[in-house]
Structure 1
Amino acid sequence: MSGPGPSPVPGPLSVAPATVVDMAGVWRSGGVRWGEDGPGLVWVGERGERRVSRIGFGGDVGFRVVGERRCVGARGNACPGDVVVARGSAQARCGECARLDRVHSVAADGVPDDPRVYRVYLAWFGPGQVKVGITAEEREGARLREQGAVCFSWLGRGPLMAARRCEELLRAALGVPDRVSYEQKRLVRATLPGPGERADEIRDMHARAVRLGGWPESLEAVACRVVDHGRLFGLDGLVPAHGVVRELVPDGAVGGRVLAAAGPDLHLEAEGRVVVLDTRLMSGWGLAAAPAGGGITVPVRALRPPDVQDQLF
């Protein structure tokens, strides 16, 4: 596989136009890593070695599924039982490892005494799809790229529990949710308004938020500055998706041309159709290189509103 630059980056995928670099052996996905300059897929080899494959829009991807899907463990530790887990789940963890991971999760308030500075953000995913959330300040905008936020602005900064109270205030007073489903995000990515219109919606919500009474005293308001990810994600001129990979299966293959990437999602063109691959479905599987032109032979479902799910092909 090769990415931007003069030399190929090894791994089980091909991500360069008209290039397929075969990598011997079986690898496991470590998920998408988003940098400020774009996405890459993390791979873990049979001996624990880690490599990153840069994802280039217009480039090819191709991999084949090997063996069974097994638990990825928790907090950097291997699953002691090497448990086989469900194929279609976004999280490849057994019940015990999921519990251990949750214990130390900021999202679950598992570490209320966390000394780090946190930021409250407003993220926009489509018209009427603004959410509020928090992230550690040291992570900068990585969390927003990981979620597939088309644009965002910071709202406040301070201790963890103050940031959490601000999040709850916006939910109660303004009806701003703390999550938007991936199905909702996928439905609108190819029909988004321009950067100016989406920035206006963020600015309006920011202004309404800072006017609210009841802000925690230890939380400092941050001026609105909209960061837009449309170009970084490759959303300009994006073709609407026909479907979404439902699950990976043993000996199944995924191959196609990368049109865009947002959060964990890759938009792939394969055999005249556009399919979204949630790369979280790749975790826990053994993966080997396959021709990018081999198409998609794993189950794919129709892309529909969240309450309407059916089989597509």
Structure 2
Amino acid sequence: MAWWCTGVRWSGGAPALGWFGDGRGERESPLAYGQQLGFVARGGRRCLGVRRGRRRTACPTGAAVPARASRAQCEECARIDRSYSVAADTMADDPRPYAVYLAYFGPGLVKIGITADERGSARLLEQGAVAFTWLGRGPLMAARRVEELVGVALGVPDRIPYTQKRVVRGVLPPAAEWAAELRAAHGRATALPGWPESLDRAVCEVVDHAGEFGLAGLGHRAQTASVVREFVDGGVVAGRLVAAAGPDLHLVVAAGPDLHLVAAAGPDPAPGTGRGLILDTRLLAGWRLEAAAGETAAGGVTVPVAELGGVQGGLF
């Protein structure tokens, strides 16, 4: 029985590839920076069904999903997901406490959002937030009110496209500047009048994810990296994992300037050589993968790619 990739999960502050097998539940394959990855996509891309809490229910029809869709779901499963979703405002009666946060992705790229308090920083890792600070904690609707208040009063967005996050990820300023920008935004936000009494303000404590994401390993390649556009049956991606952020895996691949062509076979590129490639694992979700070995793995990349900033990413 086949296992289908579900994309990257952040478990215990570290990235892992998730897998789903009909009737067998889910499992994970931990990822480590510096390791060589190589896989071949097989068959077609299928809907992964609906995941609620820690359980995934398979799509009843195993519907096909377009290769370039950012979610591996058919329309019906996506509709079920939206019927009970904080993001879609369909669960206003959720009794759990929620936390409001400010997340930093690069200079001038600060967003506001909310997450279930029990999830801790998992949501921030999933979004690829380089750094963040909590604003407050309280009931869901109070958290929503503060999210709206800060967004309108200070012009802080609640969504930032992944394309923007990727472009700035390789040219980030020193960490002291991240912290200063977040502290300033936190001060302005908590000073606003109109906060609900049921939401407790949080002290500004900046947390950065540079270590979890392996950002030190990006180097100069991040500014010239290419981005996988889609997967195809028989398509190969092989390279050395150097960093990860949100759903993105940053690889160094032994390929020439035209990554859509099969690269010459050879060993894993040495540090300082090779080209950067960003793999958005949301596009990998829904595919059945096989390990690439031998000359196939050495071939690098045989799926369509685009220049950094040339691919429309999803929101958040």
Which range, TM-score by smaller chain? 0.7 to 0.9
CA contact (8 A) 1:154 1:222 kept: yes
Q: Match of 1:259?
A: 242
With the length of structure 2 as denominator, give the TM-score of the two structures. 0.86
Question: Does 1:230 find its partner at 2:210?
Answer: yes
Contact 2:129 / 2:209 at 8 angstroms: preserved in 1? yes
Change (3 A) 1:30 1:306: closer
Say which SS state the counterpart of residue 166 (structure 1) adopts: helix
- Equivalent residue, structure 1, for 2:152: 172
Query: What does residue 284 of structure 2 align with?
Result: 282
Give 1:280 deviation, angstroms.
Answer: 0.9
Once the two structures are superposed, the pairs formed by residues 4-23 of structure 1 within 5 Å of their partners are: none
Question: Is 1:146 matched up with 2:126?
Answer: yes
Unaligned runs of 5+ in 1: 1-24, 309-313
- How many angstroms does 1:26 deviate by? 4.2
Please give the secondary structure, in 2, of the residue aligned with 1:161: helix
8 A Cα contact 1:71 1:84, kept in partner: yes
- Give the distance between the partners of 1:203 and 1:245, measured in 2 at CA: 35
Opposite residue 214 of structure 2, the aligned amino acid is G
CA RMSD in angstroms, aligned pairs only:
1.7
Q: Of 101, 115, 119, which residue of structure 2 is paired with 1:121?
A: 101
User: 3-state DSSP class of the match of 2:298?
Assistant: helix
Cα distance in structure 2, aligned partners of 1:53 and 1:307: 28
Q: Are residues 1:193 and 2:193 paired? A: no
Aligned twin of 1:56:
32
CA change 1:215–1:46 in 2 (3 A) is closer
Q: CA deviation at 1:294?
A: 2.8
State the 1:216 CA deviation: 1.3
Q: Is 150-159 or 26-35 further displaced after alignment? A: 26-35
Whether contact under 8 Å (1:184, 1:305) holds in the other structure is no
Secondary structure at the residue paired with 2:133? Answer: strand
Structure 1 stretches of 4+ moved >4 Å: 305-308
- List alignment gaps of at least 5 residues for structure 2: 255-273
Q: What TM-score, normalized to structure 1?
A: 0.87
Q: Render the CA deviation track for 1:141-197: whole Å, top value 9, x for unaligned.
A: 000000000000000100001101100001110000001111001001111011111
SS at match of 1:51: strand
* Distance of aligned partners of 1:77 and 1:124 in 2 relative to their CA distance in 1, 3 Å threshold: same
| Count, aligned residues | 284
Q: Give the Cα–Cα distance (whole angstroms) in 1 for the partners of residues 195 and 97 of structure 2.
A: 16
Aligned pairs for 1:1-313 within 5 A: 26-45=2-21, 48-75=24-51, 76-238=56-218, 239-240=221-222, 241-271=224-254, 272-291=274-293, 292-304=297-309
Q: Which moved more, 1:36-45 or 1:212-221?
A: 36-45
